Amino acid sequence: MDSASEVGNNVLPLTAQPGQEAIQQQLKKAQNDLDKLNASLLDSKTRLDELADRWQGYGDAQKQLTDWVKALEEKLGTGLELQPNLEAKREQAQQYKVRMMMMIELKDINFLH
């Protein structure tokens, strides 16, 4: 834009009055268009930066959730094992109730609210 403006200003003294006005109008319009483009690019960059920050937040939340699930899986163990009698089954049920309470207590993590 600077070089076009410089060329336009160099040509102005050699141009008749109606042509000078046309050149000045074209240069002014080109400068306005460039200013609008620069403003639009700045808005786009700002928006992209905001979206990148939000995406990072999603990534952090996903990692936190993954870590929580892994910790929960470790606490729960490998699964239900068959028990030989009713008393052992009651004990196992009690253990799972305790683990369930632990899971409820872990819901303090922000993304689980």
Residue 113 neighbours by CB under 8 Å, 6+ apart: 107
Show the tokens assigned to 107.
Answer: 């819901």
pLDDT at position 86, please? Answer: 92
Give me the domain span that covers residue 23. Answer: 2-112
The domain tally of the chain equals 1
**Which residue has 């993304």 as its token pair?**
111
How buried is 12 (Cβ within 10 angstroms: 0-12 exposed, 13-18 middle, 19+ buried)?
middle
Residue by residue, pLDDT tens for the chain (113 residues) are 777 777 777 777 777 888 878 888 888 898 899 999 999 999 999 999 999 999 998 888 899 888 888 887 777 666 667 888 999 989 988 888 887 787 777 666 544 44
